[in-house]
Amino acid sequence: MPRIYLLRHGEAERQITTDAERKLTTKGRADLCAMAHAALQWVPGIDAVWVSPLVRAQQTWQEAQAVWRLSAPVTTEVCLIPEGDLDAMMTAWAASPSQSLCCVTHQPWVGLALHRLLGLEPDYYTLPTATLAVVDLPVKALGLGRLIHYWTPSP
């Protein structure tokens, strides 16, 4: 059964230069470490990781991977930027051999993806930073998913 892991980046610094260059804060790194440990039992099956090219998403994957230590291939995917194309991502995933994909991404993309994967009303979740949502799907398609786990950092 296909499974998708939606991981929103950790807390990032205020925009100093460009949005793409924002880095994780110390709190963002700590929240990600806590989430990664809490989710450890659910991640061994991940067979592909796609990460937004933005710095904070790349750093988020590094923090999660430091705990998870997965051997899955990691690809940088432009379709995961905040205004990225969910349909293009789903088409690419459907064509791939991956059955268990982790996407490291941003709001509003991640909230919209969760909403559309679950077939919910036309609005989107706002996932806090360092949140991981895990969705099982009968096939790699939107609207058929079932949310099986959701980790978010404590305030």
Reported as a single tens digit per residue, the pLDDT across 39-92 is 999 898 999 999 999 999 999 999 999 999 999 999 999 999 999 999 999 999
pLDDT the model gives residue 123: 73
In this predicted model, what pLDDT tens digit does every residue of 10-49 receive, in sequence order? Answer: 999 887 778 888 899 999 999 999 999 999 998 989 999 9
Q: How far is it, in rounded angstroms, from Cα 120 to Cα 61? A: 28
Q: What is d(CA 134, CA 102) in angstroms, rounded to the nearest whole number? A: 9
pLDDT band at 98 (very low <50, low <70, confident <90, very high): very high
Q: Which CATH architecture has domain 3-133+145-151?
A: 3-Layer(aba) Sandwich (3.40)
131-150 pLDDT per residue, tens: 999 999 999 999 999 999 99
Count of CA atoms in the C-beta half-sphere (13 A) of 17: 6
Torsion-angle region of 115 (φ positive above 0: left; ψ -120 to 50: alpha; else: beta): alpha
Query: Which residue in 72, 137, 126, 79 sits closest to 105, CA to CA?
Result: 79
Asked whether the beta carbons of 55 and 103 are under 8 A apart, the reply is no
Min mean pLDDT across 53-57, 76-80, 112-116, 125-129 is at 125-129
Domains of the chain, residue spans: 3-133+145-151
Distance of alpha carbon 45 from alpha carbon 41, whole angstroms: 10
Running DSSP on this structure, what letter comes out for residue 84?
Answer: -
| Interior/surface letters 66-103, b for 16+ CB within 10 angstroms, e for the rest | ebbebebebeebebbbeebebeebbebbeeeebbbbbb
Tell me the whole-structure pTM to 2 decimals.
Answer: 0.94
